Amino acid sequence: MHSNYVSGGRSREPAVSPTNMPKGKVVAHRWKIKQKLGEGGFGAVYKVVNMETMTPAALKVERIKKHGVLKLEAMILRRLADYPFFPHLLDSGKKATYSYIILTLLGPSLNKILK
């Protein structure tokens, strides 16, 4: 886990909408997008896999904004890292058009469970 929120730094990649990232796109040189899990008012969530370990994870992305929510979420998750019922923050960063955090994938979404 990176201690600095902007661990990935800014890249010179083409502009990408955080709510429309293509399957197969690689984020932070190791997280490959497998599928979109959902989207909401702040951005989107994707299932990704670590290309080195093949471990699945969740990628949360939001458009770059003055008051982004993901930076706060990353800070809170770092404080909850020792508790077993919260996802672990695996990576975080900022690209040209979006911020992201990568979390352990805990299971199906609440929407899926309620259906």
Residues annotated within the binding site for ATP are: 66
CA distance 98 to 106: 23
At 104, list the tokens. Answer: 């352990």
Half-sphere exposure of 5 (CA within 13 A, CB side): 13
Q: Annotated binding site, which residues?
A: 66
